[in-house]
Chain A
Amino acid sequence: MSLSDFAIADTCFLIDWSYWSHRNVLFKLFRAVFVPEVVLREVKSERAVEWIAAMLASGQLALYTETSDVVGLATRIVERSRLVPGLRGVDLPEAICLAVGKLRGYVVLTENRGAIMAVDFLEELSGVVIWRALEVVKEAIRRGSITGDPRQVFKLYEEETKHRFSRAELEAVINELEGKAGEVEEAGGGGEGD
């Protein structure tokens, strides 16, 4: 998994993440995480706003003001996502993050399935790296930035953020972290266990 010094976070990722007690581990993985203005406008709660303001003050989060090239590419991504039958449409806020991922090489932090599908299907987004909380937490555990039983770490994230990981993907990640990669596939895959 390649890692940029920089990441850019979209709203659905940032809001969930701000509710997690290990939220500052993000800054052990990236030198700075950019927050587009369009994303910042969506944050309202005292807890999230205070954390974001403190991290902006420390320079670990940074405001990303959209430039015309980013908005241009983002607009094309929005349009293209609606031309592929079966593909979930991408809206402008996520498209801006994807455009920055493409143009600047930042890791895109998102939980938005439309954005994830777009990277899988749209040629103009080839090479864009997307991490959901699942991948961020996994990388933090792998690097030793978070210690403890991985299963408990992911459980805490789900409890504190009310986010739900796919059971099959979570099992695959835990197996990988425990050095058992491949066992799930050999056993015939997972399937949603909820």
Chain B
Amino acid sequence: MVSLEERLEKWRRLEEEAREIRRREADWKFIEGLPPKLRAALKYYVEVGDMYVASRIAGLTVEEFNELRKRAGIPNVS
């Protein structure tokens, strides 16, 4: 039986791996050149990976934000 702490640790590890991939592959020059809301939303997405909340920060629909994510070179890791 896997303990709650062990399961949380597994998820923490997966989250960190995904975050590292997003940080590494993001086009930071592109991101830094964007208007504040879009820049903040992409940085949030790199750190958290939550597209819905990121899209709300950006003031875009999820699909519009997804297109912005692709242009910024950030992979959607699952």
In the complex the two chains form, is B51's CB within 8 Å of A162's CB?
no
The residues of B that contact A45 with a CB separation of less than 8 Å are: 63, 67
The residues of A that contact B8 with a CB separation of less than 8 Å are: 86-87
The residues of B that contact A93 with a CB separation of less than 8 Å are: 52
Count of chain A residues with a beta carbon within 8 Å of a chain B beta carbon: 34
The residues of A that contact B51 with a CB separation of less than 8 Å are: 11-12, 112
In the complex the two chains form, is A164's CB within 8 Å of B67's CB?
no
Count of chain B residues with a beta carbon within 8 Å of a chain A beta carbon: 29
- A50 contacts B by Cβ under 8 Å: no
Question: What is the bound-complex CA distance between A114 and B13, given in angstroms?
Answer: 14
- Comparing A26-34, A36-44, A61-69, A139-147, the segment that makes contact with chain B is A36-44
Interface centre among B14, B48, B62 (most CB of A within 10 A): B62
Interface centre among B8, B61, B70, B76 (most CB of A within 10 A): B76
Question: What is the bound-complex CA distance between A165 and B17, given in angstroms?
Answer: 12
In the complex the two chains form, is B66's CB within 8 Å of A164's CB?
no
Our pick among A88, A120, A163 for the contact of B50 (Cβ within 8 Å) is: A88
- B78 contacts A by Cβ under 8 Å: yes
In the complex the two chains form, is A43's CB within 8 Å of B63's CB?
yes
How close is B47's CB to chain A, nearest CB, in angstroms?
12
In the complex the two chains form, is B50's CB within 8 Å of A164's CB?
no
Which residues on A are within 8 Å of B, measured CB to CB?
11-12, 15-16, 41-45, 48, 86-88, 91, 93-94, 111-114, 117, 120-121, 132-134, 161-166, 192, 194
Name 8 extra pairs, CB < 8 A, besides A112-B50, A162-B76, A164-B75: A15-B66, A44-B61, A86-B11, A87-B8, A88-B50, A91-B50, A111-B76, A164-B76
Question: What is the bound-complex CA distance between A44 and B49, given in angstroms?
Answer: 21
In the complex the two chains form, is A86's CB within 8 Å of B78's CB?
no
How close is B12's CB to chain A, nearest CB, in angstroms?
7
In the complex the two chains form, is B49's CB within 8 Å of A16's CB?
no
In the complex the two chains form, is B78's CB within 8 Å of A15's CB?
no
> Could you list 5 examples of A-B contacts with CB < 8 Å?
A11-B63, A86-B12, A94-B52, A163-B78, A166-B77
Closest to A158 in B: B75
In the complex the two chains form, is B78's CB within 8 Å of A120's CB?
no
In the complex the two chains form, is A12's CB within 8 Å of B62's CB?
yes
- B32 contacts A by Cβ under 8 Å: no
How close is B78's CB to chain A, nearest CB, in angstroms?
5
The residues of B that contact A133 with a CB separation of less than 8 Å are: 78
In the complex the two chains form, is B78's CB within 8 Å of A111's CB?
yes
